Structure 1
Amino acid sequence: MRALLDLILPLECGGCGDSGSGWCERCRRTLADDPVAVRPRVDPGVPVWALGPYAGPRRGAVIAAKERGRRDLAVPMGMALAGAVNTLRRWGELDPPELAPLWLVPAPTRARAARARGGDPVLRIASVVATATGRGSRVCPALSMGRGVRDSVGLSAAQRQDNLAGRVRVSDKVPDDFLRTRRSCPEVVLVDDVLTTGATAAESVRVLATAGVQVGAVLVLAYA
């Protein structure tokens, strides 16, 4: 039956477009590279790590997940970021799980964009990361965007900052134990798919700090 379905609806790799697999081994190896430190134009004030530039299978996967409804790609992207978390722990950039539980906060997205995509792709990716890293890792969709935020495509760094200023908020559905993180000292990591200017990351870190939550790092799939 599977072979018949493949003839009718052949699988296509979400990273490179090759047929035969939803995510090929070559793209998996590409995303498994060690994370690299990134210095965005808008500095969020915490370390920023990416799996590589917004090109090749990283770009292909993000576009397929956002624009073509490939929800299945949350798994390989999340697994790649989980591998980056483990690497950063090994390097001493993040605390090991026995010292600090891990909270993963998806970067905020516009509600309209999330509805158009059948849900928030970054939230799905973060959920995979939490499952893969285990040992107390949790996802908290703590941030939301208020009204008036425009699509950021084509905006400069300064325009992106103005676009987001005062419009990223801490959700009223955040669990109490997340807001008590300043006493329990967990590792809080902001997760996103693509980092361009750093404006979203910077505003997110600032808003969380105002709520008493200190972000330790930003982790993204790709930087543009």
Structure 2
Amino acid sequence: MSGFRVGELAGLVWRDDCVACGTADAPPAVAGLSLCRGCAHELRRVPSRVADTWAPPVFAAGMYGGPHRGVVLAAKEQRRPDAVRVAGAVLAGTVRHLVTRGVLADPRLAPLALLPAPTTRRAAKNRGGCIVERSVEAARRVVGAGVDVVAGATLGAGARDWVGLGRGERTANIAANLRIDQTELQRAVRVLREPGATACLVDDVSTTGATLSRFASALAARGVVTSAGVVIAQA
């Protein structure tokens, strides 16, 4: 142990390289976040609507490449807590953009429910918890009061891995395996009974749009109508 200095030991526990690009020792762009200025600039770009998605409209903070891809991979594959916080900040920025456009309710005036997209229990266990759900909780803290996170959707044990599946296969996969917790579902229903309340679906990446579209349809059939979806990146 004598060969390490205190600062080096701390670096083994608290990584200071940028979660999006891996640049080491870059001055942080945001206090408390391992994010360099260049990546922070890219992650603040104006969100755009994802093309060819079904209802509701889905908006992405960026394309699946560069810093957006880096943040997703750092959160999901490297299991970096600071990447989850950055992902939350990116989602919060997209939500705020939709609030300014009138797509979602201003949570200072009416309730706003954020509903994380479903994932398999296996994936959540392998990653130390559902990354999307944790990112949405981080986003809620950034956006502030008036935001509720309703996280009651999972995919059953028979669900297939999304990689390589087309839109139709993804739709069938979620239709056959979606499980929604009834307690959380009723909580969403109660939130949306408030005047002016809106609900928004959240995921990390949109590839075909099938996941959020089928999730929205399942929720609507159960009395929860969503106004939009937001993702970190569009693949």
* TM score, norm. by length of structure 2: 0.87
Q: Which moved more, 1:106-115 or 1:86-95?
A: 86-95
Tell me: CA distance 1:64–1:98, structure 2 relative to 1, closer, same or farther (3 Å).
closer
Provide runs of 4+ in structure 1 moved above 6 Å.
Answer: none
Q: Which moved more, 1:163-172 or 1:104-113?
A: 163-172
Gaps of 5+ in 1: none
Distance of 1:164 and 1:106 partners within structure 2:
14
Tell me: CA distance 1:34–1:148, structure 2 relative to 1, closer, same or farther (3 Å).
same
**Would the aligned equivalents of 1:181 and 1:213 in 2 still touch at CA under 8 Å?**
no
Question: Quick check: 1:12 aligned with 2:12?
Answer: no
Q: Partner of 1:18: helix, strand, or coil?
A: coil
RMSD: 1.9
Aligned to 2:152: 142
Q: Partner of 2:19: helix, strand, or coil?
A: coil
Map 1:170-209; keep pairs closer than 5 Å: 170-174=180-184, 176-185=186-195, 186-209=197-220
1:31 aligned to which of 19, 28, 43: 43
Aligned to 2:102: 92
- In the TM superposition, residue 3 of structure 1 has moved relative to its aligned partner by 3.0
- In the TM superposition, residue 99 of structure 1 has moved relative to its aligned partner by 3.4
Q: Partner of 2:193: helix, strand, or coil?
A: helix
Q: In the alignment, residue 33 of structure 1 is paired with which amino acid?
A: R
* Percentage of pairs with the same residue: 38
Q: Which moved more, 1:24-33 or 1:123-132?
A: 24-33
Distance of 1:51 and 1:58 partners within structure 2:
8
Gaps of 5+ in 2: 27-33
- In the TM superposition, residue 199 of structure 1 has moved relative to its aligned partner by 1.3
* TM score, norm. by length of structure 1: 0.91
Q: Partner of 1:58: helix, strand, or coil?
A: helix
2:122 aligned to which of 97, 103, 112: 112
Q: In the alignment, residue 26 of structure 1 is paired with which amino acid?
A: G
